[in-house]
Amino acid sequence: MFQVKICGVTSVEDAVMIASSGADAIGLNFIPGSPRCLDLERATEISQNIPPHIVRIGVFVGRPSSEMLMVAKKIGLNAIQLHGLFDGPPEKSDPPWRCDELKPFPVIRAVRLDEPSVDTDRLATARQWIDAAAACGCLPAMALLDASVSCGVKAGQFGGTGNIIDWNSVAEVPILPIPTTLAGGLTPDNVTAAIQTTQASAVDTASGVESAPGRKDSDLVRRFVNAAKQGFSGKPYA
């Protein structure tokens, strides 16, 4: 689907810059309370001003499937990323049958892992969720590994925290049965090593290429894309 995704895009200017940087995908955030959250009008404007080959991914938490489908069709999304809890109150969770309800849009399932070490229990729960989705008739297209935050001002935040998960732990634990995207604290300075350590299929960053929340820095974006491509090419990390 993609190798390099820049998430939390909030302006047409940033989206056009990202498209020209060599990135494969952008993430459009629809999570209330996030500094990167978009309304339908702004998201549509962004989508309409980037080339068709750029993968457009909508990021949601606990929204009804009918609402996500409406947004996806209106904006022209290519995939839907579910960032909610595996189990919890409806407004904060995304059950496995969502994958079937969201057809024909591919689903990317976020897995929020405790840092610094990888929570094997959480991964086991993720596998159960993926298996349940498959049993409902639709296997997620990808899993996205991100860092969860349990304390401080970012506690409970769904993505964009800048926190890093332990890449060595990711490399050591059993692999999920679908392609894996690595997120969580990735920057131009560490993404090559992250790819080579974890052997992830793709990478995703938001705060790692920002000058302020929701504002992308063109130099950081281009450096990130180049470093990620170096990682995927198998070149040694310097």
Residue where the block lists tokens 């229990």: 121
Can you give the pLDDT of all 238 residues of the chain as single tens digits? 999 999 999 999 999 999 999 999 999 999 999 999 999 999 999 999 999 999 999 999 999 999 999 999 999 999 999 999 888 898 899 999 999 999 999 999 998 886 545 567 778 888 899 999 999 989 999 999 988 644 333 434 444 556 788 888 777 766 688 999 999 999 999 999 999 999 999 999 999 999 999 999 999 999 999 999 999 997 554 4
Q: Where are the domains of the chain?
A: 4-233
Residues catalogued as catalytic: 7, 146
- Token output for 163: 């926190």
CATH topology of domain 4-233: TIM Barrel (3.20.20)
Q: Tell me, what's the pLDDT at 118?
A: 58
Distance CA 224, CA 36 (A): 19
- Token output for 170: 């990711």
CB distance 61 to 158 below 8 Å: yes
Q: Tell me, what's the pLDDT at 115?
A: 52
Q: Which residues contact 143 (CB under 8 A, 6 or more apart)?
A: 108, 109, 110, 111, 126, 130, 176, 178, 179, 180, 181
